[in-house]
Structure 1
């Protein structure tokens, strides 16, 4: 039992655990819609697109969070603007913004002779360096994310399954998409300094994707994603402490491992349990299919 509890008797590990829990809850709220909407590539692009703002803020002695928020805002505005270009696919626009912002960030970094340590922190995060004020910021971000997710639930649900349905219902899909981008931006900006931009998708994408095969609704996916994210944080920090590995990377690796375990077990379940209805049609549709139907 000491092996299980000893790491969390240390103050900075306790803060890391609380910070990871808050990040997991934020990412569950945003990541569920990212998975259902098929926006994983956009999330990755936006995470890497933070680099110019963070680099400029660090060189000027400003707040990396402010710089990250500025870059994320530029990325979100760019994605929204390019989506209106009819002959340009959404993925192409996102890819161009991704490369452009990343290149700009590398150029800014290359102008500094002493940015290597900060860049490493940006890429991989430092969950063990969470401070009390970081916890306050994460708590505020969680409250905002919860309000946004609750207020936009109906519009996000319609948008995730059929944009035309959202328009028919008068839910203004463009505004809903912009709000969803804002929620994604909030999750990434709040999380990047905890697990880093290269690893933020671990908590943003893996827990909701792992919960999806077992869920009957969007709320269940969010709850499952939150539980899995919290579990990945606890187990990742525990393994990191005893194995001497990077904490943020270990947390993300555990989250991804959860996804593969979930997919594997659900595949076995679907093969073993295939009831057939009276009409002879296969009724073994995975539970996640219920999530894919608009409410």
Structure 2
């Protein structure tokens, strides 16, 4: 068995540089999705993460056919879907989850259709479905770092406005806040955070990065600032432990990271339950 010390040694091995890149990628993804996930959980829009993760398929397929960047293709498709969801959700007769479901199904169906017309695409699809730590390049990490910095900067600049819309849309609109623009902004940040997590975790499991750390933070934290500090730390710790366990036991990285997060969430729930029992 590979011990934690062996794992640290492997990280310094020049023949295993992909492991360092994988570690950097999961840390970056955890930091960004931890913060974005707090907005997602606060707003009750968990389904958008799953929808965005699947809506990137048309972009992936088109990028593959044209010989372009899969990440860029997925990003474009995801942003288009996110903007459409934000625009159509402004109609009060349609609930946000209904609009998300419509565009999720449509984009996923389009992606499947394009995939069926693109021979040789299955291998690339598998990497984006389940993640591939071996396939992460230095350019991928640098790109993810750039996106992460922009997302965190944007969320910091528009923090109050986004929270206001999440808590009470009508009051925010009455105060003159641009609700549609803020919706688009939030959906786009969710999209970008999902896309930069795809290669490490895969889009089948990437929703866990958005939901589990933020949900654990909501259990233990009484204020939003504390949630936004706790969730990224929770995600980073679980991701690093999950990466180590997957490396030590030769298991799928994405699956092990998600299971580690679920274990961490259960520990948070148990600790909170025990606290309530003692208070009684």
What is the TM-score with the length of structure 2 in the denominator? 0.92
CA contact (8 A) 1:124 1:195 kept: yes
User: C-alpha displacement at 1:261, in angstroms?
Assistant: 2.4
Q: Gaps spanning 5+ residues in structure 1: where? A: 275-295
Q: Looking at CA atoms only, which structure, 1 or 2, has the larger radius of gyration? A: 1
Distance 1:58 1:256 in 2: 34
1:92 equivalent to 2:98? Answer: yes
Residue 13 of structure 2 aligns with which residue? none
Residue 69 of structure 2 aligns with which residue? 63
Residue 237 of structure 1 aligns with which residue? 243
CA contact (8 A) 1:127 1:248 kept: no
Distance 1:29 1:58 in 2: 31
Bigger CA drift: 256-265 or 46-55? Answer: 256-265
Residue 4 of structure 1 aligns with which residue? 4
Structure of greater relative contact order (alpha carbons < 8 Å, 6+ residues apart): 2
What is the TM-score with the length of structure 1 in the denominator? 0.88
CA contact (8 A) 2:89 2:95 kept: yes
CA contact (8 A) 2:90 2:180 kept: no
1:107 equivalent to 2:120? Answer: no
Equivalent pairs counted in the alignment come to 274
Pairwise CA RMSD = 1.7
CA contact (8 A) 1:7 1:13 kept: no
Residue 30 of structure 2 aligns with which residue? 24
1:165 equivalent to 2:171? Answer: yes
State the secondary structure of the residue aligned to 2:276: helix
User: C-alpha displacement at 1:87, in angstroms?
Assistant: 2.8
Distance 2:84 2:175 in 1: 27
User: C-alpha displacement at 1:187, in angstroms?
Assistant: 0.5
State the secondary structure of the residue aligned to 1:250: helix
Distance 1:212 1:141 in 2: 26
